[in-house]
Amino acid sequence: MKKPDLLPGTLDMLILKAVSLGPLHGYGVLLRIQQISKNLLEIEQGSLYPALYRLEHQGLIGSEWGVSDNNRRAKFYSLTTAGVKRLREETRQWATLTTAITNVLSATAEEA
């Protein structure tokens, strides 16, 4: 089965959610999203790292250097207070949007 493409603007929300579960290095973010989506989402490294930079620049995630599981120096990302607030807002907006789309797609001729 072909994996779905991410909708524009959803990558940031997914990254915020992934790091809200605990500090992660870049590749760990990619793996966490893949894991919690039950392998339905696959994030390309070419889009992940610019998004991490953008989120850090916006103050939504913070970073500090540490050592990864394979003893390599890596930058670990965690959610900031502003990131928590943004994730909460985006989660609420996403829930509203998906409910609206589900309502439209499940409409029957009798309801129209």
In sequence order, what are the residues at sequence separation of 6 or more whose Cβ sits closer than 8 angstroms to the Cβ of residue 47?
11
Q: Would you state the pLDDT for residue 29? A: 96
Q: Is residue 19 situated within a structural domain?
A: yes
Give residue 57's domain range. 10-106
Q: Is residue 54 situated within a structural domain?
A: yes
Q: Is residue 95 situated within a structural domain?
A: yes
Q: Is residue 3 situated within a structural domain?
A: no
Number of domains the chain is built from: 1
Print pLDDT tens along the chain (112 aa): 667 777 778 999 999 999 999 999 999 999 999 999 999 998 988 999 999 999 999 999 999 999 988 899 999 999 999 999 999 999 999 999 999 999 999 998 887 6
Q: Give the Å distances, CA to CA, from 96 to 20, 89, 93, 112.
A: 21, 11, 5, 21
Q: Is residue 76 situated within a structural domain?
A: yes
Instruction: Give the domain CATH number at 92.
Output: 1.10.10.10
Q: Is residue 112 situated within a structural domain?
A: no
Q: Would you state the pLDDT for residue 45? A: 87
Q: Would you state the pLDDT for residue 8? A: 74
Q: Is residue 85 situated within a structural domain?
A: yes
Q: Is residue 2 situated within a structural domain?
A: no
Output b/e per residue, 11-21; b: 16+ Cβ within 10 A.
bbbbbbbbbee
